[in-house]
Amino acid sequence: MKSLRRQLPPMTALMAFEAAARLLSFTRAAEELGVTQAAVSRQIHALEEDFGLPLFNRLHRKVTLTAQGQALAAATSNAFGLIADAASDLRQGSNDDLTISATVAFSHFWLLPRISEFSRRHPDTTLRIVSQDAMPALDQGDVDVAIRFGEGNWPNVQAEKLFDDLVFPVCSPEFALSLDPDLPPEDLIRKPLISHEADDPMWIGWIEWLSHFGVTTTGRLKGMRCSFYTEAIYATLNGQGITLGWNRLVGDLIDQNRLVRLGDASLVPKGGYYVLVPAKRRQSQALQQFMTWLFESHSGT
């Protein structure tokens, strides 16, 4: 087998070609590479002589790729992209920074109350928690790992299921004093039901939850409406009414007797919580340690 050095064209020529093919301009490629337009033209001409075929169509005031040029452009773009990703991963792997993205509710009620245990185990790792409901672009390198609720079918990521969830009504202990502890779903409709605005189609709201138990609703539900789930939970903690508790999010509050569950009715939502990492990025030691801790820590919750 021939060595790669003998099979590959000169790297300088390939870099000039990749820039010119991406920008469709010898002049702009020269500006990007910090060389003259004549130097770029010479490099590409040398490639065309090596291959024995044209890579560009030279038109009046512009260039376009030939079919062969398009094939080489796709190959060089992919190859340089992989090298750039590997270099970025190696640089990231040389430090102990870790950026974690989770929804506002998951960060607030599940992750942040537990993350100190990870920091105690790995004090040299600097954590950055990004609380955002929108899904981050993991392929851009700004986020190392994300935790999201869904069905595991996000594109261009490796998704590993963390756990499922359970949804049931909750209220404050003081509010519960005036209620039947075995309050059936059909009686909830006459109580103040706290809800929030959710853009996620997988999120279960009151109408869907009640409908699952055969309770139909007409018109607007009685009770406070909040912008975010965290606000709905704090309104519930302050005795404003009843909201739907997602067990993984409110379990600690129930254990602390700050919230109480009403009745036995519960609904298992579709999907679950997933840990997402970029599909083609090498995992740093800090990320591997976080993944290990994450799956160990949920076993008791």
pLDDT 10s digits, 159-181: 999 999 999 999 999 999 989 87
Q: Mean pLDDT over residues 183-190, rounded?
A: 90
pLDDT value at residue 4: 67
CA dist., res. 151 & res. 189, Å (int): 30
CA-CA-CA-CA torsion sign (197, 200, 201, 202): negative
Predicted confidence (pLDDT) per residue in 13-48, tens digit: 999 999 999 999 999 999 988 889 999 999 999 999
pLDDT at position 1, please? Answer: 41
Q: Name the segment(s) of the chain with CATH classification 1.10.10.10.
A: 4-92
Q: Which fold has domain 167-261?
A: D-Maltodextrin-Binding Protein; domain 2 (3.40.190)
pLDDT of the residue at 32: 87
Comma-separated ranges of CATH 3.40.190.10 domains in the chain: 95-163+271-300, 167-261
Q: 4-92 has which CATH code?
A: 1.10.10.10
d(CA 195, CA 228) in angstroms, rounded, equals 9
Tokens of 42: 């010479």
The closest of 292, 286, 293 to 118, measured between CA atoms, is 293
* Fold (CATH) for 95-163+271-300: D-Maltodextrin-Binding Protein; domain 2 (3.40.190)
